[in-house]
Every structure is written in structure tokens, then in C-alpha cells.
Amino acid sequence: MTASHHHHHHVPVITIDGPTASGKGTVAHKAALRLGFHYLDSGSLYRLTALTALRKGMDLRDEHALAKAAESLHCSFSGDAIFLAHENVTAAIRAEEVGNTASKIAALPAVRQALYGLQLGFRKAPGLVADGRDMGTVIFPHAQLKVFLTASVEARADRRYKQLIEKGFSASMEDLLKDLRERDERDANRKIAPLKPAEGAHVLDTSSMTADEAVEQVLKWYADLKKHHAI
Ligand code: CDP
């Protein structure tokens, strides 16, 4: 990893990390809209790589080939839509199979390295809200504000269930709980960039909070920072 991004350090970054289905996507997206900041859904990059791998029938243990696929992703973001080459894959990358595959290939160091520079490029004026697992620990360790969102596994399974049904996917609560636990286990115990709160992160348990309440808390922390001239 290089240090060539140092000239971007003045652009404010808010990192929002947390486990699967903790609501960080919704919270980060809304916070970005409220602040007029750019938004990075870093998980989508792992999902795009996973979708590419699944479609090409790639061997999920072939780290080198998967890193190549990550490095040469032709993706673009337009509003809420995500494109792979010219195809709108916004819905396709949300399938559980894609998420599970993303979580597996995200444990491969070469894949993470391949996506590193792409993620740094999202740091542009007037600011960035970035969500993922390692935004505050690895990608933007000097972020002005770091947040770690959590929620009980039951609350998260419940949210994921509603999300999937809303998007027209079928879902079983029992399978979802099992998947969430497995994914938590993989994300927290992998050797590289494991899921954990960054140093100095504000931890927010959203089990009994709405997304909007969580957004307000994040914005309040950010406003407090500005008030105290910390940024
Ligand atoms: O919806 P969910 O939170 O499960 O997934 P996501 O944020 O879209 O990310 C998909 C997968 O990519 C996660 O299960 C993580 O294993 C991985 N990921 C990661 O390793 N690092 C990130 N910064 C973001 C996602």
C-alpha cells in the first residue's frame, strides 16, 4: 500500500463500519446526502468482484485470478445505481449468494490490495462517507470521524429479511440467522482487515434505533467535532 494519497488528507472522511445487516449502508448513505458528501459503499466492490467470479465460474480459491478480476472491474456508480460495464447490476449484487461469495473472497489479501486504490479515489471534496468493514482501520485510518455500528444478530436478521422480501427475493429467517452468524465469524476472524472497531471509533448499537435516529447521532458527532475546531 502506498502513501501517495496524502494530499487528500484535508478532505473530511466519516467512516461507518460494522457487521452485516447492521444498517450501516442506509445510515452512511443518508448521512452523505445530508452533508452533501460523496458516498462509498465499499461492500459493493467485493460484491461486484463476487458477481464477476460467479458468472465466469471462477475457482473461489484462485486468489491471483480473483485479484485480477477485482483490479479490472469496469464499474461505475450513478446515484443509487451500480453498473458493471454497461449493465445495471444494482439488484443482482444484493442476492445472498453474491454476498456470501463476497465475504469469502474478501478474506484474500490480494483481492483487498487490488481494491485499495479504487477506494482511496472516492475521497473527493467536499467530503466522503465510507461504509464497510475496514474503512476506519485500514483504508482511511486518519478519518476525521469513525463510527462502528452494531446490532444484535436477531435485529440484523430481521432487517435483512425485510430487505430481501422488499426486493422480491425469497428468504427464510432460519437460513438468514445461520448465514449472518457464519459471515460474522468469517469477517471477525480473518487474518487480514478483520472486522473490529477502529481506534477512537464511536460505537453505536442500533438494535432498538431507527436508521434516522442513527443518522442523527452520526451528524451530531460530526457537528460536535466541527464546533470544537477539531476539523
Ligand atoms: O450487506 P453486508 O453488510 O453483508 O455486505 P456488504 O457491506 O455489501 O459487503 C459484502 C461483503 O464484503 C461482506 O460480507 C464483507 O465480508 C466484505 N467486505 C469487506 O471485507 N470489507 C469491506 N470494506 C466491505 C465489505
pLDDT in tens, 125-153: 999 999 999 999 999 999 999 999 999 99
Confidence check: pLDDT of 4 > 50: no
104 lines ligand 1 (CB under 6 A): no
Q: What is the pLDDT of residue 79?
A: 86
- The least confident of 123-127, 151-155, 159-163 is 159-163
Confidence check: pLDDT of 107 > 50: yes
Q: What is the pLDDT of residue 20?
A: 86
User: Can you spell out the DSSP letters for the chain?
Assistant: ---TTGGGTTS-EEEEE-STTSSHHHHHHHHHHHHT-EEEEHHHHHHHHHHHHHHHT--TT-HHHHHHHHHT--EEEETTEEEETTEE-TTGGGSHHHHHHHHHHTT-HHHHHHHHHHHHTT--TT-EEEEESSIIIII-TT-SEEEEEE--HHHHHHHHHHHHHHTT----HHHHHHHHHHHHHHHHH-SSS-S-PPTTPEEEE-TT--HHHHHHHHHHHHHHHHHTT--
Q: What is the pLDDT of residue 167?
A: 85
Q: What is the pLDDT of residue 209?
A: 95
132 lines ligand 1 (CB under 6 A): yes
Q: What is the pLDDT of residue 7?
A: 54
Q: What is the pLDDT of residue 3?
A: 46
Rg (CA), the chain: 17
Q: What is the pLDDT of residue 1?
A: 47
Average pLDDT over residues 25-44: 97
In ligand 1, which atom is closest to the CA atom of 131? 23
43 lines ligand 1 (CB under 6 A): yes
- The least confident of 5-9, 127-131, 142-146, 219-223 is 5-9
pLDDT in tens, 163-200: 889 988 888 999 999 989 998 998 889 899 888 999 99
Which residue has its alpha carbon closest to ligand 1 atom 10?
43
Confidence check: pLDDT of 6 > 70: no
Cell of 126: 467536499
156 lines ligand 1 (CB under 6 A): no
Mean pLDDT of the chain: 93
Neighbours of 157 (CB within 10 A): 23
Confidence check: pLDDT of 230 > 80: no
What's the predicted TM-score (pTM) here?
0.90
Average pLDDT over residues 84-100: 93
